[in-house]
Structure formats: structure tokens, C-alpha cells
């Protein structure tokens, strides 16, 4: 270990050292960190100091504690979410999320928490223009290699989809938008609003993240012809695990100078 810098806290320097070891593969993805006593002996510091350093790594999402098993290096790579490409490629599988994960050679799985008729939350009611009418919700947790990667609650006007297989877990190739197209209401336009916030207790438990880790909340709205809103999906995604990517053309025309 480098000589301790007096101007910087010991535990911060140890956290930086451990992060460098993670980055250079000394502690590879999915591996167990050395125990706190072993690290304290190696680095000639107190166990309390090591514990504070590991707490910093937990807060950043670099490691995860599994009770009774130890502290593990994050096993998943950073996942890119390309807002344009993911929906263009959704026909390659059962939905954009599944395609996104399999492109990284990871095993995708979806666990459904609830599928059924509900009263939509106020903001969803407004976006779908339901005016209090019921919605279908498809609430799920998405996994990569059995690690939770996001929560996604999708809402549809109940009157539009109640007799479709959107009420079943497996909607087939092309996902829910493919089934909306079968109903004559295929999406042609999308909007997304993104906020960063801290997770709720339920979100933290389902995503298996520390309470200090912020999440992206993405409100994705799909519109059919005539600007008819047909779907609202609320994605909740651990911020340390995802990179959000957006691309667009210069609407000012060719040759415009910024």
C-alpha cells in the first residue's frame, strides 16, 4: 500500500486502494473480498478503519454484503440503456429489457409481481388520460444472471387490452408493444422523463441495494397514431448499474453551427 497521506483519511485511501484492486482484476467480479481482519493485518490499520472503507465501497455499489457469506465484488458489468436502439431491437426477443441483457451475454429473467386490473396512480392516470377508469398493470422485476437490475411497472388502458394476452405473463416475441400493434394501436412515438432519487425501502429490498445508492426513475410513455397514449412504464434502476444513452439528429438542419 502507498504511504498514508496525512491530508486524506485513512479509510478513504483504503477504499481507493480496494477500488483499484477491483478495477485491475485483483478482486474479480463476483469474488469475495478478504475479510476485514485480514485486510487490517495486511494494511496495518484497525479493523474499524477497514470497515469504514468497505462501507464507502458498499455506498458506491462496488461491493455487496451477503449476510453470513462475506462481501462480494459486484458481478454485473455496467449496463448501457440506449433509449433509441433498445426499442428498435425489441422484436429480437420478448421485449427491450430482455434484448438489452442478452446482448451482454448475460442470462435474462423476469419475475412478475402482479398482472391485473388496478386503479392507476394519479400521475399514470393523467398520462394515460384515464380519468379514473381502470388500467392493466404488469409489475415485474428484471434480472441478469439472477441479479436484480430494475423494477418496471407498465400500465395500459384496461378497456383497450382486457381481452388480449397482455393479461398473461408471456406476451410472445416483440413484447407488449407487439401485442398493442396486433390490437391496431402500435406505438409510433415515445417520451421519457428521468429523475434521480433515493430508493424506497421496498425498492431497496427488491433491488438488493444499499439505502445510500440512488436510483434512476424513468417514466416512459408510448403513443399510438393520433397521439393516443397507450402505455406508461415506470422503470426504477440502480444508478451505479446503468448508463443512460441518448442520440438525436440536429433539428436545426445541416450545416448549422453551435
Q: Which domains are seen in the chain, by residue range? A: 10-73 (1.10.10.10), 79-245 (3.40.1410.10)
In the predicted structure, residue 141 carries a pLDDT above the cut 80: yes
Per-residue pLDDT band at 258 (split at 50, 70, 90): very low
pLDDT of the residue at 114? 97
**Helix 47-60 to helix 36-43 angle, to the nearest 10 degrees?**
120
**What's the pTM?**
0.85
* Cβ–Cβ < 8 Å for 161, 200: no
Instruction: Give the contacts of 119 (CB within 8 A, at least 6 positions apart).
Output: 125, 132, 134, 135
The whole-chain average pLDDT of the chain stands at: 90
Mean pLDDT value across residues 210-225: 96
Backbone angles phi, psi at 18, to 5 degrees: -65, -35
Mean pLDDT value across residues 160-170: 95
Per-residue pLDDT band at 145 (split at 50, 70, 90): very high
Tell me the per-residue pLDDT of 106-139, one tens digit each, with 9 for 90 and over: 999 999 999 999 999 999 999 999 999 999 999 9
In the predicted structure, residue 245 carries a pLDDT above the cut 60: yes
Per-residue pLDDT band at 93 (split at 50, 70, 90): low
Tell me the per-residue pLDDT of 168-184, one tens digit each, with 9 for 90 and over: 999 988 889 999 999 99
pLDDT of the residue at 119? 98
* Cβ–Cβ < 8 Å for 40, 53: no
DSSP 214-235: -EEEEEEEEEEGGGEEEEEEEE
pLDDT of the residue at 234? 98
Mean pLDDT value across residues 205-225: 95
Instruction: Report the alpha-carbon distance of residue 135 to residue 145 in Å, rounded.
Output: 31
What is the C-alpha radius of gyration for the chain, rounded to an integer number of angstroms? 22
Amino acid at each position: 500500500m502507498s504511504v498514508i497521506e496525512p491530508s486524506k483519511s485513512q479509510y478513504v485511501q483504503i477504499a481507493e486502494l480496494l477500488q483499484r484492486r477491483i478495477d485491475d482484476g485483483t478482486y474479480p467480479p463476483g469474488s469475495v473480498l478478504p475479510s476485514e481482519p485480514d485486510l487490517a493485518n495486511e494494511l496495518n490499520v484497525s479493523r474499524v478503519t477497514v470497515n469504514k472503507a468497505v462501507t464507502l465501497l458498499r455506498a458506491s455499489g462496488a461491493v455487496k454484503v451477503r449476510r453470513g457469506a462475506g462481501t462480494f465484488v459486484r458481478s454485473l458489468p455496467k449496463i448501457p440503456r440506449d433509449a433509441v436502439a433498445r426499442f428498435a431491437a425489441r422484436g429480437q426477443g420478448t421485449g427491450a429489457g430482455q434484448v438489452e441483457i442478452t446482448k451482454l451475454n448475460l442470462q435474462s429473467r423476469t419475475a412478475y409481481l402482479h398482472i391485473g386490473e388496478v386503479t392507476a396512480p394519479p400521475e399514470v392516470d393523467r398520462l394515460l388520460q384515464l380519468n379514473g377508469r381502470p388500467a392493466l398493470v404488469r409489475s415485474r422485476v428484471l434480472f441478469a444472471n439472477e441479479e436484480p437490475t430494475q423494477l418496471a411497472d407498465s400500465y395500459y388502458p384496461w378497456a383497450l387490452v382486457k381481452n388480449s394476452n397482455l393479461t398473461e405473463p408471456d406476451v410472445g416475441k416483440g413484447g407488449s408493444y407487439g401485442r398493442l400493434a396486433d390490437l391496431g394501436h402500435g406505438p409510433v412515438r415515445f417520451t421519457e422523463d428521468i429523475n434521480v432519487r433515493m430508493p424506497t425501502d421496498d425498492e431497496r429490498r427488491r433491488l438488493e441495494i444499499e439505502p445510500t445508492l440512488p436510483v434512476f426513475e424513468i417514466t416512459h410513455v408510448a403513443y399510438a397514431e393520433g397521439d393516443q397514449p397507450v402505455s406508461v412504464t415506470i422503470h426504477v434502476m440502480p444508478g451505479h448499474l446503468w448508463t443512460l444513452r441518448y442520440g438525436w439528429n440536429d433539428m436545426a438542419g445541416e450545416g448549422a453551427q453551435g
